[in-house]
Amino acid sequence: MQIPTLKASRRENSGTKAMRKLRAEGHLPGVLYGKGEGNINLQFSYTDVEKLVHDASHVVELDLGDGKQTALVRGLQRDHLGDNLQHIDFIRINLDEKVKLRLPLTFVGTPRGAAHGGLLEVLHGDVEVNCPADKIPKYVEVEVTKLEVDDSLKFKDLSIPEGAELIPNPEGIVVKCAQARRAAALNKAQELQEAGKPGAAPGAAKKPEAKK
C-alpha cells in the first residue's frame, strides 16, 4: 500500500475569525490527536487535502516539519451545502495495528435481473471493519452482475482485506436486485426521509450508483 505524504504546519489561533481568515488564504484547519499524546492544531494546503480526499486515501504520513507521523483520516467537515471542506481530523496510528474505519463500497456491473424489470437497491454504501493499517484499501468493490430479481448480497459476501474483521452483522443485506415497483417506492421513501432531516439541502439525498 502506497502511503501519501501531506505537509502540515502548526497553528496557534483557533477562533472562528481566525479560521475564516485561514480558509480565505487557501488553507484548511485540522487537528491531530490520539495515542495518549496531546492534540496538535494544524493547517494544510486546501488543494493538497482536496486531492487526498479525491484519491480516497485513508492513511497518510503527515510531514510536520520537525518530524513525521503516520495518521488515519478520522473525520471531514464540509459546509452546509456539502461542497467545501471546512476541517479535517487525523488520529495517530501505527502501521502494525488494526484500526476501525468505514470503507466505501463501489458497485460494479449491471444485475442480470435488470433484464426482467429488476432495479439495484443499495441498503449500505459502506462497511465498517477492523483492518490492518497497512492493508486498508481505498474502497471495496461489490460485483452485482450475477444478481437476479430478489437476489441479494450480504456483508459476509464482501471481499474485505486479508486480516480484516467485519463489525456489522455478517447476515445484514448490503444490496439486492428488487422488483421495480418495490425499489421505486423504497427510493422515494428514502428521499423523503433525507429531505426531512435538519439542514438537508435540496437535492442532497443521493444514492450510490453502480459503476459500469
Mean pLDDT by 10 residues, the chain (212 residues): 91 84 93 94 95 90 94 93 92 95 96 94 96 94 97 97 94 94 64 62 45 53
Long-range contacts from 21-25, C-beta under 8 angstroms, 24+ separation: 23/86
Evaluate whether 70 touches 93 at the Cβ level (below 8 Å): yes
Q: Are 118 and 177 in contact (CB under 8 A)?
A: yes
pLDDT at 94: 95
Domains and CATH numbers, the chain: 5-93 (2.40.240.10), 99-211 (2.170.120.20)
Residue whose entry in the numeric block shows the C-alpha cell 502494525:
96
**pLDDT at site 200:** 44
